[in-house]
Amino acid sequence: MPFGSGAGDIPGLTPPPVLIFFHIPKTGGLTIKSVVQHCLQDQCFDCELPVPDTALWVCSTANIAQKFYSLSAEERRVVRCVVGEHVSFDVASIFSLPSKFFTIVREPVDRVVSHFYFSRTWHELPSHQFIRDMTLEEYLDSGMGLDYDNHQVRMLSGCPELDSPWTFERGRLRISAPPVTRRHLAMAKRNIEKRFIVAAPMEQLSALVWFLKRLYGWPIHRALYRIHHKTPGRPKVQSLSQTTRKRLEALNEYDFALYEWVKERFAEQIEPLEPDFSRQVRRFEVLNSSFRRLHPFIPQPILAAVARLPLSHRASWRAKLTHKAINSSVTRHYVPRFLARQPFAKDD
């Protein structure tokens, strides 16, 4: 199959009337949001709100609905995708059209570390004043969060009792919710099977973007992306003490099971598309790496002109900016060699 071929070439799948990004915190959400917004533009509803309503960082459907209905009737009519916030499953009830979700999961210990260190920098977060000076170990002892205890299963199970509102008593933050069980893991898997068009592990972000690009027929130049919202100052998982790491592994037993299951499921989902799919993803990653490193040096007028390019696959600009750019010997040989000689910072 030609690299960058058109819409609807995921056998057995068609784009849902409304696609909802089920954004789990610290799983590459801002990056995937930028891709979807760039590709769907005016059809994309950004439901972002100032602060989350719960300890799992979920924003209430009522608040999201209020923002949605603040749009004009014409703006609401054309919405085909929802991004921008951590949502619950009943967000689908806002829309008159049928919907499907997609999501990204992350290796649990890595996600918890990123989540904690990001939380310490988010001044508007209700828990910030309590945790800003804590170490990770102190936070695990504090009982002031749910994010270190099977956060991904808590959200994907769809069980509201596994979440907690921000509760303040006598100047202290109180968070209380039941523990996650194997039953909740089964519920999370069942929700993904029935309500999601795709779920992928974070380390296969490029493969997920390519999957959506093929499903929707997005032009390649719109699917190129940069990494957003890297957590500053966070330690690598390898630098954690063995005690802390084992503690986090035990606290996230069901998240680990879900993460491994999603990896296997995504591999099975793309298997019928092989070997073309993996080859295409590798070529896309080469191009995207070049794009990310060259992006700071591209004049703003050119970036603005590219952003205005039409979405139509029949547009002449698509052929010029995708087929020629990607398949040319310049892109495949000289650009990577040029970049290898430059003092660019290594991607984290």
- Asked if residue 172 has pLDDT above 70, the reply is yes
Q: Is the pLDDT of residue 171 over 90?
A: no
Q: How does pLDDT run across 198-244, given as a tens digit for each residue?
A: 999 999 999 999 999 999 999 998 999 988 767 777 899 999 999 99
Residue 321 DSSP code: I
Checking if the pLDDT of 326 tops 80, the result is: no
Sort 223 into a burial class: Cβ within 10 Å, 0-12 / 13-18 / 19+. buried
pLDDT above 80 for 304? no
CA 299 from centre of chain: 28
- Could you give the percent of the chain with pLDDT greater than 70? 82
Tell whether the model's pLDDT for residue 276 goes beyond 80: yes
Pick the CATH number of 18-273 from 3.40.50.300, 3.40.50.150, 3.40.50.720, 3.60.70.12: 3.40.50.300
Strand partners, 100: 19
Q: In this structure, how many other beta carbons lie within 10 angstroms of the beta carbon of residue 291? A: 16
Inter-CA distances, 233 with 117, 136, 140, 147, 296, Å: 7, 13, 19, 19, 23
The percent of residues in the chain predicted with pLDDT above 90, rounded, is 72
Q: How far apart are CA 37 and CA 135, in angstroms?
A: 36
Is 318's pLDDT higher than 70?
no
What per-residue confidence (pLDDT) applies to 232? 74
pLDDT digits (tens, 9 = 90+) for 280-301: 999 999 999 888 787 666 676 6
Does residue 320 have a pLDDT over 60? Answer: no
What's the whole-number average pLDDT of the chain?
Answer: 86
pLDDT at 263 over 80: yes
- Lowest-pLDDT range of 65-74, 197-206, 325-334: 325-334
pLDDT of residue 303: 62
pLDDT tens digits, one per residue of 93-144: 999 999 999 999 999 999 999 999 999 999 999 999 999 999 999 999 998 9
| Residues 101, 20 contacting (CB under 8 angstroms) | yes
